[in-house]
Amino acid sequence: MPVVTESPAKRLQEAIRGQVVADAPLGPYTSFRIGGPATLLAVPADREDLKTVLAFAKSERLPVHVLGGGSNTLVRDAGFRGIAIRLNAFQVLERRDNDIAAGAGVRIGRLLAFGCRQGLSGLEVLSGVPGTVGGAVWGNAGAWGGATADTLTTVDLVTASGDERRLSRSDSPFRYRASGLPEGSVVVQAAFALAPDDPAAIRRRISGYLVRRNASQPVEYRSAGSIFKNPPDDYAGRLVERAGLKGTRIGNAMISTKHGNYIVNLGGARAADVLALAAIARERVRTIAGVELELEIKVVGEE
């Protein structure tokens, strides 16, 4: 009789308490709302589940991508032949003296609201930044001259080999839009050192940043945030605007008319459209300004 082999999804589901979905479309889990399916989507219930998922991926020789809140991410149209991980269950959020500990799955907006209620200041510069704590730490997300690493004290990781590690801020070479954390590791929790302040004053600063963001960025459309990193001593959006590309459209993707460093989904855009626009912008800026723009978004999956 032929041997009946259980599907990878079933085998992984039997090994963890969390959820596993086969051939899961990833677009709905990204801020762009673009992208094909992952071979598997895993939502671990805890750190032990996460270790099991990473071990399974290694044994099956499947790459792993942690989606976080799905911002700063473009999934290709053909999808991702690997395991996508969402850390929804990692929701620790607690005050420890003047520090806040936050799980990787905590939304940045929720973290800021908690800090405000606790009268703890230092995170306001992240107001309006989409995504989760884990993604913000991994990519050192920031805005208005500030960054996640500014108040970060420790990061808890699960490494690719399944070990748990706690790193201090000084253990990793954080820089502009990068953390330098060990490749293949997954952020599960972070702690931030903050300063006591009047909640009303914190709330006013948050509101001020949100007003600035809403006035300058195309928040009315789906996007992945800034497409390019800012080059030294300049702004990617300014260079794209100088190249005369604002409003340029391919399919249902368009370089924003409000901010040159945003490509927006007008509805039903494909990843190929977004990447084609990014390529045009890079080529034109290179020609006009002699500057090589570097993608800030993470492109995931197969061409």
Catalytic positions are 177, 226, 296
Q: How far is CA 83 from CA 24, 54, 142, 159, in A?
A: 10, 9, 27, 16
Instruction: Count the alpha carbons within 13 Å of 146 in the hemisphere toward its beta carbon.
Output: 13
The Cα–Cα gap between 164 and 230 comes to: 34
250-255 CB contacts, 8 Å cutoff, 24+ apart: 250/276, 250/277, 253/277, 255/281
Instruction: Please state the separation of Cα 260 from the chain's center in Å.
Output: 20
Residue type, 116: C
Residue type, 191: A
Of 208, 299, 216, the residue nearest 261 (C-alpha): 216
C-alpha angle 247-249-252 in degrees, rounded to nearest 5: 120
What phi-psi label fits residue 215: left (phi over 0), alpha (psi between -120 and 50 degrees) or beta? alpha
Of 163, 183, 298, the residue nearest 229 (C-alpha): 298
Judge whether 260 and 238 are in contact, CB under 8 Å: yes
The Cα–Cα gap between 206 and 128 comes to: 9
